Amino acid sequence: MSAIQLAALARTVQPQRMLRRFLALDAVVTGANALAYLALSGPLGRFLGTGSGLLLGVGAFLAVYAAGVGLLAARPHPPATGVRIVVEANLAWTTVSLAALALWLTPTTAGAVWTVLQALSVAGFALLQHLALRQRQLNQD
């Protein structure tokens, strides 16, 4: 992805703003999922074919994670180490989600589709955050 495409997605050419926007979007989407899993674990569990206990646990984890990513996004200059941790955590989440689907989850069709879509979305966040961090570092040199 070129710097121009990245800037178009972020709606800014400033790498610092780009990075903060991609982190903030990750925090918002993750937080929304967390709230849905926490508030609607029963109905969502039935729809997705997972236990409500699993969704409650995942929702609690995601709420904490979203808060951490949100705090990182709120910093005027998010530290590179923190951003790298978020990128690696997102890649780990993607891997674990797909492995869980293949190895031990037995979701409904909607649950299988949801698992793949959310894994791809999280991988997309990791890519955008990585590219924005790299662009910021290139501009500092």
- What are the tens digits of pLDDT across the range 13-37? 677 888 999 999 999 999 999 999 9
Cα–Cα distance between 67 and 33 in angstroms, integer? 12
- pTM reported for the whole predicted model: 0.89
pLDDT-based confidence at 2, cuts 50/70/90? low
Cα–Cα distance between 75 and 97 in angstroms, integer? 29
Average pLDDT in the chain? 91
